[in-house]
């Protein structure tokens, strides 16, 4: 039983399960799926102010906060109790590329050589962690939602802006991975 939880699930199982959340949320209460909006709900609840963006009834969205708490709790449980003892499988060509750019530790979910506290003191670390975090936050706000909201919920409900946002997310990811990241890794 435990091996079923710890092993990666095939696309034909996990895909439909993710996809079924959309009709389930719509049928159970006309709710939309998305994670980035929970930060707005937290800010509206914890820091009430005269900012119009935060002046709404956030209590109607409490279910979303429980959903995000479940994601955090599940991530914590998985990271502490369902750890795969085997190293992360990385394509040999990618390993060669990363090794040539000073990345060789694949013991965690992200390369430890790039994402750690001492790395924040380097230009590369600042660009990857602080700059990347800023760009993700800015892009999420500018697009009016995150990848889960647009790609899972928006496209399945046939929203044209969500299709455009998803295409932009994908194009940005390809550009970052193939053009920008190699440049940053060489710093």
Q: Give rounded-to-5 percent helix, strand, coil for the chain.
A: 70, 0, 30
Q: What is the pLDDT of residues 152-169, one digit of tens each?
A: 888 888 999 999 999 999
Which pLDDT does position 1 carry in this prediction?
66
User: So where are the chain's domains?
Assistant: 1-83, 114-187
Which whole number is the average pLDDT over 64-74? 92
- Write out the two tokens for 177: 């991975």
Between the CA of residue 146 and those of 39, 65, 86, 118, 184, what are the distances in Å?
11, 16, 31, 29, 24
- Write out the two tokens for 133: 């975090």
Is this prediction's pTM over 0.95? no
Which pLDDT does position 49 carry in this prediction?
80
Interhelix angle for 37-46 vs 62-81, to 10°?
110
- Measured distance CA(47)–CA(174) in Å, rounded: 37
- Write out the two tokens for 53: 């963006």
């Amino acid at each position: 039983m435990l091996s079923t939880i710890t092993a990666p699930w095939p696309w034909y199982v996990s895909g439909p399960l993710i996809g079924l959340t959309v009709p389930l949320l719509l049928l159970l209460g006309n709710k939309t799926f998305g994670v980035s909006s929970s930060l707005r709900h937290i800010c509206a609840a914890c820091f009430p102010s005269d900012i119009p963006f935060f002046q709404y009834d956030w209590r109607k969205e409490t279910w979303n906060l429980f959903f995000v708490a479940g994601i955090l709790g599940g991530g914590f449980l998985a990271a502490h109790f369902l750890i795969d003892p085997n190293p992360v499988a990385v394509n040999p060509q990618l390993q060669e590329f990363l090794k040539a750019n000073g990345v060789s530790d694949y013991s965690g979910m992200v390369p430890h050589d790039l994402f750690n506290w001492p790395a924040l003191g380097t230009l590369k670390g600042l660009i990857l962690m602080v700059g990347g975090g800023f760009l993700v936050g800015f892009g999420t706000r500018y697009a009016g939602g995150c990848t889960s909201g647009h790609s899972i919920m928006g496209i399945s409900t046939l929203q044209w802006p969500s299709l455009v946002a998803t295409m932009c997310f994908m194009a940005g990811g390809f550009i970052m991975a193939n053009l920008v990241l190699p440049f940053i890794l060489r710093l």
